[in-house]
Amino acid sequence: LQYPHATVEPLLSGISLRCSDWYNRLGAGSLLTGDPAFNYQEHELNERLKRLYPAVNEEETPLPRSWSPKDKYSYIGLSQNNLRVHYKGHGKNHKDAASVRATHPIPAACGIYYFEVKIVSKGRDGYMGIGLSAQGDNMNRLPGWDKHSYGYHGDDGHSFCSSGTGQPYGPTFTTGDVIGCCVNLINNTCFYTKNGHSLGNKLSALSFCPCLSFQPNLYPTVGLQTPGEIVDANFGQQPFVFDIEDYMSEWRAKIHSMIARFPIGERLGDWQAVLQNMVSSYLVHHGYCATAMTFARATETMIQEDQTSIKNRQRIQKLVLAGRVGEAIDATQQLYPGLLEHDPNLLFMLKCRQFVEMVNGTDSEVRCFSARSPKSQDSYPGSPNLSPRHGATNAHLHNTGADSPTCSNGVTPTNKNKSHNKYTGVSSASASSSPSSSPSSVNYSESNSTDSTKSQPHSATSNQETSDSEMEIEAEHYSNGVTESSTRIMNGTYKHQEILQADDNSVGNGVADDSCSSRQLCGGNQAATERMIQFGRELQALSEQLCRQYGKNATHKKMLQDAFSLLAYSDPWNCPVGQQLDPMQREAICSALNSAILESQNLPKQPPLMLALGQATECVQLMAKVRSGSCSFARVDNFLH
């Protein structure tokens, strides 16, 4: 599980979701059993670290959470979940000094990192040092004495920067004081705090404080030297005494203003052209024909693609998003002959999706058997097709979901008994669901007769040259079914705005509808169910054929299994693999088909906007890898609204 994913596939809204996703798993994995207070603290810690360092990917670069029982000198004792450090040597002279490092180095993606240490007891002489050191530094020393190590010492208040002699820096510290160490990986400096007060690092003539020029990975480090010295670390387990978030907010603002004020000088015209092109190509890519035309007119730019071609793509996309995959395949074959034949993978994906939509009762091959329930009809506009999320995001998201133990559990049994149990599974499922569902489906068809006649003309006209307004009708129909026809005629360019607003609502509504409706297999129709099973067999045959032709394909196998598994449950919508039925799942295949068509027309399969977004995301990732701390405050999702 990575965040964000390291391909150029851009991420729009999936970011926050995924972030919390791995976090939950991580938290669950690292919890110790038994002690509820400790669990609570662990939870607090995770929450705080997540808030402070949102850009850190802990799978790659874990954050320090305690002192390392391995990376310490023998005179150091650890207790209290490896947070408390005490000295247990002789403490005769500096040769008896002893240090301990944290479990992990500070990831550069933190941007600004902070930890605190409370002096529980200053012991005999209070020769305590708090700071940073690199792995491999001698642990028989206080931090600051060796190369790549930095420390602030309690007995004299001096700061040691890779040298045995310190510089006057701050006040001394002793029992009861809380000392903090802040590493700024943006300007590569470090400063210390005492009881919540910054001791500073900005100095002109007398530079006391470390400038961490180029550094290997640095670890939080504490060193003790005389008996009785005890200190407690706070890596985020408790609220910090120093207001580190306030300090971070200043740097966030600095970096954002740096970005906002990035000088473009004389290239202003070029930039504008690039931006207009990005917007225009994005609109074209997703088939917002009228919007794209209007935009092109207003900005006096050209659209590369032919208008008819845009509309064709738009129509196909709409069919997929409406769950009418069969029709989409037909239309593709008709308009772009040879495309699917040359891309059997895509065809197979489409067919699998068609099977899923048959289960759903939305595909036209099953829909023709009965009037649809209004719920399944609504599910088309319910999916946020008007502001496309990028397909790859969602596909990725759900793949990862399927990898998690809970999801794979449901799949495993079918996996084993695939060849034998599959069809019995199907029949039992249809047997259990169809008798109970038929009466209600009759009721539906009667009560919704007006509704279905209303939507009928749309599907009838959809094979002809459909105009943009159809899309708008559908959207308005969803948001406000009564006034649809009047608004359609009257509102010229305003329409688009309304659609977008309607769409915002529709996301929420669509989900709510899905969860509370009682849905039935293939719309509850017997004949449709039989057609579905027939189709399933064809699909199986296609799979076997592809297997013979191109060799085994694990992805196909998995796809087919997942699709067929739906039939193993009496309520496919509420089963472990039921997520496939979510209209949102259409977006991935829709975007794949759209890209394939565009590619066949020698047009970019990704809109440049998405490409730029993906590149920016990737660039920020790379910044973290080369230890450029500003990446944490220049995250792409900060700029997406």
DSSP 211: B
- Range list of H helices, 156-221: none
Tell me which of 38, 247, 282, 423 binds another protein, using CB under 8 A: 247
Task: Decide: is 537 part of the binding site for another protein (CB under 8 A).
Answer: no
Closer by beta carbon to another protein, 249 or else 497: 249
CB of 211 to another protein, least distance (A): 15
Task: Decide: is 341 part of the binding site for another protein (CB under 8 A).
Answer: no
In 3-state terms, what secondary structure has residue 564? Answer: helix
CB of 587 to another protein, least distance (A): 37
Closer by beta carbon to another protein, 253 or else 273: 253
CB of 243 to another protein, least distance (A): 7
CB of 258 to another protein, least distance (A): 13
Facing residues of 258 across strands?
A: none
Closer by beta carbon to another protein, 187 or else 276: 187
Give DSSP secondary structure letters for 398-459: HHHHHHSHHHHHHHHHHHHTHHHHHHHHHHHHHHHHHHHHHHHHHHHHHHTHHHHHHHHHHH
- The interface region with another protein, picked from 49-57, 247-255, 378-386, 503-511 by CB under 8 A, is 247-255
Separation of alpha carbons 366 and 526, rounded Å: 10
Closer by beta carbon to another protein, 83 or else 209: 209
CB of 619 to another protein, least distance (A): 24
Closer by beta carbon to another protein, 208 or else 535: 208
Task: Decide: is 439 part of the binding site for another protein (CB under 8 A).
Answer: no
Closer by beta carbon to another protein, 94 or else 197: 197
Burial degree of 101 (CB within 10 A; 0-12, 13-18, 19+): buried
Contacts to another protein from residues 363-422, by CB under 8 A: none
Separation of alpha carbons 295 and 275, rounded Å: 12
CB of 197 to another protein, least distance (A): 5
Q: Are 574 and 393 in contact (CB under 8 A)?
A: no
Task: Decide: is 204 part of the binding site for another protein (CB under 8 A).
Answer: yes
In 3-state terms, what secondary structure has residue 220? Answer: strand
The 164-203 site mask, x for binding another protein (CB under 8 A), equals ------xx----------------------x-xxxxx-xx
Burial degree of 282 (CB within 10 A; 0-12, 13-18, 19+): middle
Query: Distances in Å between the alpha carbon of 564 and those of 337, 351, 395, 588?
Result: 29, 12, 18, 19
Q: Which two tokens stand for residue 108?
A: 């550069």
In 3-state terms, what secondary structure has residue 603? Answer: coil
Sign, CA dihedral 494-495-497-498, equals: positive
Closer by beta carbon to another protein, 107 or else 629: 629
Three-point CA angle 193, 118, 129, nearest 5°: 70
- The interface region with another protein, picked from 108-116, 177-185, 223-231, 249-257 by CB under 8 A, is 249-257
Closer by beta carbon to another protein, 192 or else 355: 192
CB of 253 to another protein, least distance (A): 4
Amino acid at site 46: N
Q: How many CB atoms lie within 10 A of CB 116?
A: 26
Tell me which of 104, 252, 396, 495 binds another protein, using CB under 8 A: 252
Separation of alpha carbons 588 and 370, rounded Å: 28
Contacts to another protein from residues 286-325, by CB under 8 A: none
CB of 47 to another protein, least distance (A): 21
CB of 198 to another protein, least distance (A): 5
Task: Decide: is 51 part of the binding site for another protein (CB under 8 A).
Answer: no
Closer by beta carbon to another protein, 15 or else 241: 241
CB of 223 to another protein, least distance (A): 22
CB of 246 to another protein, least distance (A): 5
Separation of alpha carbons 223 and 85, rounded Å: 9
CA-wise closest residue to 301 among 280, 271, 285:
280
CB of 173 to another protein, least distance (A): 10
Facing residues of 181 across strands?
A: 115, 192
Task: Decide: is 516 part of the binding site for another protein (CB under 8 A).
Answer: no
Tell me which of 35, 47, 59, 250 binds another protein, using CB under 8 A: 250
Closer by beta carbon to another protein, 246 or else 465: 246
Q: How many CB atoms lie within 10 A of CB 517?
A: 15
Separation of alpha carbons 141 and 143, rounded Å: 6
- H-helix or E-strand spanning residue 116: strand 112-122
Separation of alpha carbons 229 and 223, rounded Å: 10
Given the structure tokens 């400063």, which residue do they identify? 191
Closer by beta carbon to another protein, 308 or else 638: 638
Closer by beta carbon to another protein, 161 or else 289: 161
Q: If you compute the radius of gyration of the chain from its CA atoms, what whole number of angstroms results?
A: 31
Closer by beta carbon to another protein, 199 or else 350: 199
CB of 203 to another protein, least distance (A): 6
CA-wise closest residue to 407 among 562, 568, 584, 557:
562
- The interface region with another protein, picked from 107-115, 241-249, 308-316, 328-336 by CB under 8 A, is 241-249
Tell me which of 243, 306, 403, 538 binds another protein, using CB under 8 A: 243
- The interface region with another protein, picked from 250-258, 297-305, 471-479, 567-575 by CB under 8 A, is 250-258
In 3-state terms, what secondary structure has residue 208? Answer: coil
Closer by beta carbon to another protein, 177 or else 587: 177
Q: How many CB atoms lie within 10 A of CB 588?
A: 23
Size of the site for another protein (CB under 8 A): 21
Q: What are phi and psi of 217, to 5 degrees?
A: -60, 130
Closer by beta carbon to another protein, 246 or else 300: 246
Amino acid at site 382: G
CB of 251 to another protein, least distance (A): 9
CB of 497 to another protein, least distance (A): 23
User: Where do contacts with another protein occur on this chain (CB under 8 A)?
Assistant: 170-171, 194, 196-200, 202-206, 208, 243, 246-247, 249-250, 252-253
